[in-house]
A and B are shown apart, each in its own frame.
Chain A
Amino acid sequence: MKKDKVRQNIFKKVPNWCGTLVILVLIMIAFGIANGSFLTVKNVMNILRQVSVTGIIGLGMTMVIVTGGIDLSAGSVLAFAGMLVAILAQGGHPAAAVLVGIAVGTGCGIINGTVISLTGIPPFIMTLGMQLCARGAANLVTGGYPVAGLDDSFRVIGGGSLFKFLPIPVIIYAILAIISFFVLQKTAFGKKIYALGCNESAAHLCGVNVKKVRTLVYTYVGFMTGAAAVIITSRVNAGNASVGLNFEFDAIIGAVIGGSSLAGGSGTIIGTIIGALIVGCLDNGLTLLGISAYYQQILKGMLIVISVIVDTYRNKASQRA
């Protein structure tokens, strides 16, 4: 069993996310054939603009999932942060709105991470609790009423475009994606995130400050959620306490389709971006084909189950080696 490992190397050279990329391309070709307007520049930019919000959350979510955790609070935290953003933007303080939005998201992330690290409760429970708390807080801000009519300069963030075709949210998404790629794949901190997800005790014995790493990944996803809150509030030109429902699931689905294992220890930023694009193309393509949103929901539900089944088989196959 020792000698013939060489043969596998041919496959090892190809990164895991290539398979996902092929699927994305196939989906795009299929929709392109089915509907002529799918592959136009305008529509592709539209897809990217739509994907950017949950995509940004997905960047942080990937890191959390690689540690073996999960963040179910992202959608609600986005709503809570978005309400405060809207109030400040409505009052004519766009810069403060941006800062406060990011700060609130980051703060919720710090709370998630600190409580999980210090008490050792499952991330599932902590972030589920935060999901309810943040949604409640979002409603409390105005007693449930939406905040509309925001400052014009603020609306550029979500609605503006560079050179008339490149949406600003997409540019923000790209910048944050590059940063996240470097953090996870090119720094010692990133390596420690994988170590934590693979084997927490071993990481501890290697001198990795496990609590610090864990707190930081939740802080990171919190930061991303705050940034996403700013973008979506600006795009819809309103603060609404019910915004962001199930956004955390879109982020999780993107990461899992992109090859992150919910068992921890694996996942890449590039994979997650491709995963998010697949979800975005399906949403957009099916809408163009006139398929009801309810069916889309059913499809998304099936998609997450199938991608986890694939992940499970992949794990089994690699463990047999």
Chain B
Amino acid sequence: MGAQKNEYMLEMSGISKAFPGVKALDNVELKVKPGTVHALLGENGAGKSTLMKILMGIYEADEGTVTFKGKLLRGRRNVRETMDVGISMIHQELASFSQMTIAENIYLNREPGKGLFVDDAQMNQDTIELFERIGMDINPNTKMRDITTAYAQMVEIARAISLNADLIIMDEPTSAITDKEVEMLFNVIRRLRDEGRSIIYITHKMDEIFKIADEITVLRDGQFVGAKPISELDSDQIVSMMVGRQLVQLFPPNEAVPGETVMKVEHLSRKGEFDDISFEVHKGEILGIAGMMGAGRSEIMSAIFGITKPDSGTVTVNGKELSLGQPKEAIEAGMAMLTEDRKGTGLFLGLSVNDNIGMPSLRDFVSKGLLSQTRLNKACEVQIEALRIKTPSGKTVIRGLSGGNQQKALLGRWLYCKPEILIIDEPTRGIDVGAKYEIHKILCDLAKNGTSVIMVSSEMPEVIGISNRVLVVSQGHITGELQREELTQETIMKYAAV
């Protein structure tokens, strides 16, 4: 027993937690050695967040123990206590005070000072030193709203270090930052690890696991599947641990045969976002739009769909020029768009699955001025069936569904409209492996049946896996066009980094 105490920094064992009607965790263990990066893996709903909430003290476990640095932690404790013993969590959605400076954010509620007054100079100096420790140079007086997501994460990490955290939990830290920034983050993580701190790293991205993790723990449906050093595993083994079956192929075959031109974008420009964008879209193809985060891809799509108004340029669908700046007109011209921000601009979280699907098509269910909810429900249930959306019923409020099923519902919304052109931005962000395959399959089937799919994606394997053709965007310009045969990570990167 004595020897084991030193081996692990954190030992969670026999953890079980039930919510009314649901067993969220069943006898789960998680053991983290000091000075390691430990990846916690599992599909959405596998129980990762519940386990982390128990670790942070937000939930109390029904059974099991949490031992940290040899000391048993109480089941009932608050987040403050957890942070005091040396555990900090960096959340996926960062909560910061955008009007305040970096230094103020880090030292909020514990500002160094004399009596009633805050010693700003001291606080700024401390902040600079803190960032030097993670190898970064930063102006402590910068306002939070002026820095990117990646730097906001660094601020969170710096705060964790200033709290003397020995164990830092990172929940999908790379979901919204650029490739370059990922490198920066990884360097910081390696530094922390070398100082003897441990990191619990939650992610969906396979390549990252091999780059940064030392060990992994996999959960599935609230059960502990296994824990192993990364050196003993390859990516197929990890995927099969996560989904419980061997995934034969990561991507479905794309059997689409592109036809004539359906949409022409000519000389589209919007100041500060993109410049002189021209391209064509063919019937029945998947056109991938690749590039780094912030290159202007989503902005181009927003302008085409009419969410924003471009300064100049034209969009022509089937020979008819659109007057830009109105989504309604784009929809009438046969376009549909799924944005990258599902929660922010896609879902009506408080409404039923059916209402979410039917919203743009309400007119189809109106007779004599009244809306027939029965007909709407019937039509939407056909979509639920066809797309295999997992929900107790179409009348269930969509908030309770998993990310993958919410995304499928949004797909169902637009597929009902039978669009000729479907724009989909980051189709599988934050969605687990099994559902990813299904969504790719849906996109391939659409293209095969003659729909033009424009897919913006930061996930290189996805772009290469199912696109017929790829446009690479860099700094607001199209820098390259690649045919299916030419698609490799290297060629895309070559143009993306222009």
- Chain A positions within 8 Å of B, measured between CB atoms, are 1-9, 12, 182, 186-188, 190-192, 194-195, 198-199, 201-209, 265-266, 318-319, 321
Contact of B19 with A by CB under 8 A:
yes
What is the CA–CA distance of A59 and B371 in the complex, to the nearest angstrom?
20
Contact of B331 with A by CB under 8 A:
yes
**Complex contacts, B182 vs chain A, CB 8 Å:** none
Contacts A195-B348, A204-B327, A205-B345 given; does A188 touch B390 at CB 8 Å:
no
What is the CA–CA distance of A321 and B349 in the complex, to the nearest angstrom?
12
Q: How many A-B residue pairs have CB under 8 A?
A: 101
Other-chain residue from A195, A208, A318 in contact with B351 (beta carbon distance below 8 A): A195
Pairwise interchain contact B307-A205, C-beta atoms closer than 8 A = yes
**Complex contacts, B413 vs chain A, CB 8 Å:** 206
**Complex contacts, B307 vs chain A, CB 8 Å:** 204-205
B19, chain A: closest CB distance, angstroms: 7
**Complex contacts, A3 vs chain B, CB 8 Å:** 22
Listed by A's residue number, 25 A-B pairs whose Cβ atoms lie within 8 Å are A1-B24, A1-B45, A1-B222, A2-B390, A2-B402, A6-B392, A186-B370, A186-B371, A186-B373, A187-B366, A187-B369, A187-B371, A188-B366, A198-B348, A198-B350, A199-B344, A201-B345, A202-B345, A202-B346, A203-B348, A205-B339, A207-B331, A265-B348, A266-B350, A318-B397
| B interface secondary structure, majority | mixed
What is the CA–CA distance of A9 and B395 in the complex, to the nearest angstrom?
10
Contacts A1-B19, A7-B21, A199-B347 given; does A194 touch B355 at CB 8 Å:
yes
A165, chain B: closest CB distance, angstroms: 33
What is the CA–CA distance of A321 and B398 in the complex, to the nearest angstrom?
10
**Complex contacts, B19 vs chain A, CB 8 Å:** 1
Contact of B399 with A by CB under 8 A:
yes
Pairwise interchain contact A207-B327, C-beta atoms closer than 8 A = yes
B317-354 CB contacts (< 8 Å) to partner A: 327-328, 331-332, 337, 339, 344-351
Residue in chain B with minimal CB distance to A201: B345
**Complex contacts, A1 vs chain B, CB 8 Å:** 19, 22, 24, 45, 222
Other-chain residue from B344, B349, B359 in contact with A208 (beta carbon distance below 8 A): B359
Residue in chain A with minimal CB distance to B329: A207
**Complex contacts, A195 vs chain B, CB 8 Å:** 348, 351, 355, 359
State how many residues of chain B have any CB contact under 8 Å with chain A. 44
**Complex contacts, B399 vs chain A, CB 8 Å:** 318-319, 321
Pairwise interchain contact B348-A9, C-beta atoms closer than 8 A = no
Pairwise interchain contact A205-B348, C-beta atoms closer than 8 A = no
What is the CA–CA distance of A256 and B483 in the complex, to the nearest angstrom?
58
Pairwise interchain contact B395-A188, C-beta atoms closer than 8 A = no
B354-371 CB contacts (< 8 Å) to partner A: 355, 359-360, 362-363, 365-366, 369-371
Pairwise interchain contact A182-B349, C-beta atoms closer than 8 A = no
What is the CA–CA distance of A264 and B447 in the complex, to the nearest angstrom?
38
**Complex contacts, B316 vs chain A, CB 8 Å:** none
What is the CA–CA distance of A194 and B350 in the complex, to the nearest angstrom?
9
Contacts A199-B345, A205-B345 given; does A188 touch B363 at CB 8 Å:
yes
What is the CA–CA distance of A195 and B361 in the complex, to the nearest angstrom?
13
B249, chain A: closest CB distance, angstroms: 25
Pairwise interchain contact B369-A8, C-beta atoms closer than 8 A = no
Contact of B253 with A by CB under 8 A:
no
Pairwise interchain contact A8-B351, C-beta atoms closer than 8 A = no
B99, chain A: closest CB distance, angstroms: 19
B396, chain A: closest CB distance, angstroms: 7
